[in-house]
Chains A and B, each alone.
Chain A
Amino acid sequence: MTKQEFLSELERALGKLPHAEVEQALAFYDEAISDRMEDGLSEAEALAGLGPVDEIAAQIAAETPPIPRAIARANTGSRTLNIVLLAVFSPIWIPVVLALAAAALAVYVAIWAVIAALWAVDAVLALMPFAGLAALASTLGGGMPLPGVFAFGLSLVSSGFGLVASFAVFWASKLLFRATRSFARWIASLFVRVSGKDDDGEAPNRVKASGTPNMPAHAENTPSNHATLPEGGTRNA
């Protein structure tokens, strides 16, 4: 098999993936094979080291975000037919898309609402002495200060607990903020490849085994992909 045949077969195997993904994969493997050949391997050896085309295509398909993959699969190949189908099924997909967007927004707002509520409760506790002072002033005016002193004392205790609770609220806010970030990343990962590490330390879409040539996760961000090539590529890194 020649390089051109390999690339043609890969293009066919990638089938209905988004055009940009296919172009990216082809460019990547074109360069990978060229690099291997420049390193002294024959064309057949360079191709043999890459593995079966179907496996490569399956790996690339698995790393393509679900939404672009679904859109690409639904593509009929005819622009007119695509528009007609979109229009015909719009009573179904438009409400579904809107509902999903509203649900995502609701989750985001709910998390921030919990953060706001926690701080509001904490602020009320911490500022309780103002209410205690008002109670004290009103009872002093009435000539019977003991209930006012009692209430003011309780308000001071409440303020103290409010200040202590602010540490817990701060910690909870940090956790919830991380949750919003993870949620936003998850939403983004449905549409695009998200680079970088997740909170659990797992690197998504990263090359899994050095012996298997996969599409690198950051292929779309960096013009040169040689650094992630299993062999031969490090020369140019």
Chain B
Amino acid sequence: MRKAPKIILITAAALIGTGTVLSCGARAVAGFDTAACPP
């Protein structure tokens, strides 16, 4: 139970890191072209 906060923090860091890589990667591959990548 005492390890739970650590596990949650590590999971959160992994999610934020992976998400940033994925989203920035997708934008970069699209060439930061807003027409190709509407969001």
A146 near B19 with CB under 8 A, answer no
**B5, B11, B38, B39: the one within 8 Å of A154 (CB):** B39
- A147 interface contact, C-beta 8 A: yes
**B8, B16, B25, B26: the one within 8 Å of A157 (CB):** B16
Shortest Cβ distance from A154 into B: residue: B23
- A195 interface contact, C-beta 8 A: no
Residues on B with C-beta less than 8 A from A155 are 19
A146 near B12 with CB under 8 A, answer no
Residues on B with C-beta less than 8 A from A167 are 5, 8
A150 near B23 with CB under 8 A, answer yes
- A152 interface contact, C-beta 8 A: yes
- Tally the A-B contacts, defined by beta carbons under 8 Å: 75
Whole-angstrom CA separation of A155 from B39 in the bound complex: 13
Residues on A with C-beta less than 8 A from B8 are 163-164, 166-167
Residues on B with C-beta less than 8 A from A160 are 11-17, 19
Residues on B with C-beta less than 8 A from A149 are 22-23, 25-26
- A229 interface contact, C-beta 8 A: no
**A146, A158, A161, A164: the one within 8 Å of B26 (CB):** A146
Nearest chain A CB to B10's CB is how many angstroms away?
Answer: 10
Shortest Cβ distance from A164 into B: residue: B12
- A153 interface contact, C-beta 8 A: yes
Q: Which residue numbers of A lie inside 8 Å of B, CB to CB?
A: 129, 144, 146-147, 149-161, 163-164, 166-167
Query: What 3 pairs across the A-B complex have the smallest Cβ distances?
Result: A153-B23, A156-B19, A153-B22
25 residue pairs of the A-B complex, CB under 8 angstroms, read A146-B29, A146-B30, A147-B26, A147-B37, A147-B39, A149-B22, A150-B26, A150-B27, A152-B23, A153-B18, A153-B20, A153-B21, A153-B23, A156-B18, A156-B19, A156-B22, A157-B16, A157-B19, A157-B20, A160-B11, A160-B15, A160-B19, A163-B8, A163-B12, A164-B9
Q: Which residue numbers of B lie inside 8 Å of A, CB to CB?
A: 5, 8-9, 11-27, 29-30, 36-39
